Structure 1
Amino acid sequence: MPTRNVVITDHQQKLVEELVESGEYQNASEVLREGLRLVEKQRAEDAARLEALRRHVAAGEIDIAAGRYVDVELDELDGFMDDLAQQVMEARQQR
């Protein structure tokens, strides 16, 4: 397995030591590998959320181009959002 020298803060060193001493991990390498797994997982989740957001934006642009939207005046926004929230709650209850 490849090795790396890394520089960590005193706080991070204490955390690594606590995790090893608690028995959660056998050594510092296991702690750091777990950290990298978490970074990898977070990046994958972020990429999936970004892709979902892009799909929703594209769908919204198609709806706007097709005229499927509602103009709401700023002073009516609160009421519109309340009505929308109510519609969502009703739709969830019907499922």
Structure 2
Amino acid sequence: MATRNIVLTNHQSQVVDHLVASGRYQNASEVLRAGLRMVEEAESRYATKMNELRAAIDAGQTDLEAGRTRTFTADQFATYLSERAEHAIREKRDT
């Protein structure tokens, strides 16, 4: 394993010390590895979301170029967005 020297703030050092003292982790290296795993997972989720967003943008651009668009008044658009949000909330709740 590679050895690295890092600088922690006092607060970060106290958190590491507290977690080791709690017995949950054997040493500071375990705490930092667990933290890095969390960062990796978060970065993976972020990359997935960004890829989904890029795909949605591409699909929207394709629809726009093909003339598949809708025209809304401000009130119609607000209603449309509210309905989409309610639908998304229901779907999330049902899964």
TM-score category by the smaller chain? 0.7 to 0.9
Question: How far has the Cα of 1:9 moved from its partner?
Answer: 0.6
Runs of 5+ consecutive residues of structure 1 not aligned to the other structure: none
**1:54 counterpart residue number:** 54
Q: Rate the CA distance shift 1:63–1:16 in 2: closer, same or farther, 3 A.
A: same
Give RMSD over aligned pairs: 2.6
**1:71 counterpart residue number:** 71
How high is the TM-score relative to the length of structure 1? 0.79
Identity of aligned residues (%): 42
Encode CA deviations 1:61-80: one digit per residue, 9 max, x unaligned: 11111222211123443233
Q: Rate the CA distance shift 1:15–1:82 in 2: closer, same or farther, 3 A.
A: closer
Larger Rg: 1
How high is the TM-score relative to the length of structure 2? 0.79
Taking the aligned partners of 1:30 and 1:19, their CA distance within structure 2 comes to 10
Q: Rate the CA distance shift 1:85–1:43 in 2: closer, same or farther, 3 A.
A: closer
Runs of 5+ consecutive residues of structure 2 not aligned to the other structure: none
- In the alignment, structure 1 residue 28 sits paired with structure 2 residue 22: no
